[in-house]
Amino acid sequence: MELVVGASAATMKSLLGKLGGLLAQEYTLIRGVNSDLQYINDELATMQSFLRTVAGSHDSDDLMKDWMKQIRDVTYDVEDCIDDSGHRLHGIRADRCCYFLVNGVHEVLTGRPRRDVAVRISVLKVRAQQIGERRLRYGVDNPQRVGSGSTPTAGFDAAENQDASLQIVTVKEPVGVEKHMEELERWVTDENSGGVLYIVGFGGVGKTTIATALYRKFGENFSHRATVSVSQSSDVEAVLRNIKSQVMPLQIDSHQQHGSLPENSLAAAVKAVPRHIGQGASAVVARLRNFGRSVQTTERGKQDQLKEELQKHFGEDSYLLLIDDVWSAATWDQIRKSLPQRNKRGKIIVTTRFHAVAKMRRGEGSKVCQVDALIDSESKKLFEQALHESRGREGAPTPEREAGDPVNNVRSNDANKPALLPTQAVSGSKGSKDNATRSKREEGILDHNVGVVDGNTPEVLPDQAISESQGTVPMEVWSMCGGLPLAIVTMAGHVACNPNKSKDEWLKDCKSLFPELGKVKGKDGGKKRTQEEVGKIVSHCYNDMPAEIKTCSLYLSIFSKGHRISRKRLTRRWIAEGFVSEKQGLTVEDVAETYFNHLIRRKIILPVDHSSNGKVKYCIVHDMVLEHIVAKASEENFITVVGGNWLMPPPSSKVRRLSLQGTDSKRAKDIEKMNLSHVRSLTMFGSLNNQLSSHSFKFGIVQVLDLEGCMGFKQHHTTEICKMLLLKYLSLRATDIKSLPDRIGKLVNLETLDIRETNVLELPKEVCQLEQLVNILGGNKRTRKALKLPGELNKKKKMKGLRILSGIEITAGSVDLHHLTELRKLAIYKLVTMGDDSSFEELRSSIEYLGGYSLHTLIIGDESSKFINSLDDLSSPPIFLIALELSGKMVKLPRWIRQLSALNKLTLPITALRTDNLRQLSDLEELFSLTFSFTAQNYDAETLTILSENKLHSRGQIKVPEAGFKSLKLLRFSAPLLPLLSFPKKAMPELERLELRFNLLEGLFGVENLEKLKEVHLTLDDKTRQAVTKKIAGEMENAAKKTKAKAPRIILETVIHSN
Burial of 113: CB neighbours in 10 Å, binned 0-12, 13-18, 19+: middle
Left if phi > 0, otherwise alpha if psi is -120 to 50, otherwise beta: which for 486?
alpha
Which residue, 797, 800, 790, 798, is CA-closest to 761? 790
Query: How much of the chain exceeds pLDDT 90, in percent?
Result: 28
- DSSP-H helix ranges across 139-227: 178-189, 207-218
Residue type, 476: E
Over range 773-785, report the average pLDDT: 94
Query: Are 594 and 696 found together in one domain?
Result: no
Query: Are 381 and 530 found together in one domain?
Result: yes
Instruction: Quote the CA–CA distance of 329 and 283 in Å, as a whole number.
Output: 56
CA 836 to mean position of chain CA atoms: 42
Strand partners for 272: none
Instruction: Quote the CA–CA distance of 753 and 730 in Å, as a whole number.
Output: 5
Query: Are 678 and 621 found together in one domain?
Result: no
3-class SS at 11? helix
DSSP-assigned letters across all residues of 475-523:
THHHHTTTT-HHHHHHHHHHHHT-TT--HHHHHHHHHHH-TTTTTS--T
Is it the case that residue 208 has pLDDT exceeding 60? yes
**Sign of the C-alpha dihedral, residues 701, 703, 709, 713?**
positive
Is it the case that residue 144 has pLDDT exceeding 50? yes
Confidence at residue 300, expressed as pLDDT on a 0 to 100 scale = 41
Per-residue pLDDT of 990-1030, as tens digits, reads 999 999 988 788 888 888 889 899 888 888 765 555 566 66
Query: Are 616 and 699 found together in one domain?
Result: no
What ranges make up the beta strands (E) of 135-283? 195-200, 224-231, 250-251
Is it the case that residue 753 has pLDDT exceeding 90? yes
Q: Are 602 and 546 in contact (CB under 8 A)?
A: no
Is it the case that residue 318 has pLDDT exceeding 80? yes
Domain carrying residue 738? 650-743
Q: Are 235 and 332 in contact (CB under 8 A)?
A: no
Which residue, 796, 681, 792, is CA-closest to 728? 681
pLDDT category at 171 given cuts 50, 70, 90 is low
Confidence at residue 659, expressed as pLDDT on a 0 to 100 scale = 92
- The CA-atom distances, in angstroms, between 893 and each of 317, 789, 850 are 51, 29, 21
- 496 part of a folded domain: yes
Least confident of 294-308, 488-502, 649-663, 721-735: 294-308
Q: What are phi and psi of 1048, to 5 degrees?
A: -70, 155
pLDDT category at 955 given cuts 50, 70, 90 is confident
142-151, 833-842, 1030-1039: range with highest mean pLDDT: 833-842
What ranges make up the beta strands (E) of 944-1048? 958-959, 970-974, 977-978, 981-982, 993-997, 1000-1001, 1004-1005, 1015-1021
Q: Are 746 and 722 in contact (CB under 8 A)?
A: yes
Over range 145-171, report the average pLDDT: 60
Over range 1036-1040, report the average pLDDT: 66
Q: Are 793 and 813 in contact (CB under 8 A)?
A: no
Query: Are 198 and 86 found together in one domain?
Result: no
Query: Which among 724, 743, 762 is the end of a domain?
Result: 743
Question: Looking at the 3D structure of the chain, how many domains does it have?
Answer: 4
Per-residue pLDDT of 603-642, as tens digits, reads 999 998 888 888 999 999 988 899 899 988 988 889 998 8
- CATH number, domain with residue 297: 3.40.50.300
Query: Are 591 and 448 found together in one domain?
Result: yes
- 274 part of a folded domain: no
Instruction: Quote the CA–CA distance of 996 and 561 in Å, as a whole number.
Output: 33
Least confident of 64-73, 467-476, 704-713, 810-819: 467-476
Query: How much of the chain exceeds pLDDT 70, in percent?
Result: 69
DSSP-assigned letters across all residues of 111-147:
HHHHHHHHHHHHHHHHHHHHHHHHHHHTT-PPPPP--
Confidence at residue 390, expressed as pLDDT on a 0 to 100 scale = 86
* DSSP classification of residue 376: H
Left if phi > 0, otherwise alpha if psi is -120 to 50, otherwise beta: which for 753?
beta
Higher per-residue pLDDT: 815 or 629 = 629
Left if phi > 0, otherwise alpha if psi is -120 to 50, otherwise beta: which for 451?
left
Confidence at residue 682, expressed as pLDDT on a 0 to 100 scale = 94
Query: Which among 684, 709, 743 is the end of a domain?
Result: 743
Confidence at residue 1054, expressed as pLDDT on a 0 to 100 scale = 62
Query: Are 353 and 217 found together in one domain?
Result: yes
Per-residue pLDDT of 110-140, as tens digits, reads 556 667 777 777 887 888 888 878 777 777 7
Query: Are 290 and 381 found together in one domain?
Result: no
- 695 part of a folded domain: yes
Query: Are 348 and 472 found together in one domain?
Result: no
Per-residue pLDDT of 36-61, as tens digits, reads 777 777 777 777 777 666 655 555 56
pLDDT category at 704 given cuts 50, 70, 90 is very high
Over range 145-160, report the average pLDDT: 55
- 47 part of a folded domain: yes
Over range 85-96, report the average pLDDT: 57
Whole-number average pLDDT of the chain:
76
Higher per-residue pLDDT: 556 or 792 = 556
Confidence at residue 791, expressed as pLDDT on a 0 to 100 scale = 82
Instruction: Quote the CA–CA distance of 525 and 377 in Å, as a whole number.
Output: 8
Query: Are 672 and 729 found together in one domain?
Result: yes
Query: Are 498 and 621 found together in one domain?
Result: yes
Per-residue pLDDT of 396-429, as tens digits, reads 333 333 333 332 332 233 333 322 222 222 222 3
Confidence at residue 220, expressed as pLDDT on a 0 to 100 scale = 73
Q: Are 889 and 862 in contact (CB under 8 A)?
A: no
pLDDT category at 920 given cuts 50, 70, 90 is very high
CA 544 to mean position of chain CA atoms: 25
Q: Are 448 and 209 in contact (CB under 8 A)?
A: yes
Burial of 278: CB neighbours in 10 Å, binned 0-12, 13-18, 19+: middle
Which residue, 715, 699, 809, is CA-closest to 762? 809
* pTM for the whole structure: 0.83
- 997 part of a folded domain: no
Confidence at residue 797, expressed as pLDDT on a 0 to 100 scale = 74
Q: Are 448 and 622 in contact (CB under 8 A)?
A: yes
- 498 part of a folded domain: yes
- 777 part of a folded domain: no
Is it the case that residue 323 has pLDDT exceeding 50? yes
Confidence at residue 263, expressed as pLDDT on a 0 to 100 scale = 44
Which residue, 822, 757, 809, is CA-closest to 783? 757
Query: Are 334 and 386 found together in one domain?
Result: no
Over range 916-925, report the average pLDDT: 95
pLDDT category at 256 given cuts 50, 70, 90 is very low
Is it the case that residue 66 has pLDDT exceeding 90? no
pLDDT category at 904 given cuts 50, 70, 90 is very high
- 935 part of a folded domain: no
* DSSP classification of residue 757: T
Least confident of 201-215, 455-469, 751-765, 973-987: 455-469
Is it the case that residue 854 has pLDDT exceeding 70? yes
Query: Which among 576, 606, 634 is the end of a domain?
Result: 634
Confidence at residue 526, expressed as pLDDT on a 0 to 100 scale = 56
Cβ atoms within 10 Å, residue 347: 26
pLDDT category at 143 given cuts 50, 70, 90 is low
Which residue, 146, 90, 88, is CA-closest to 117? 88
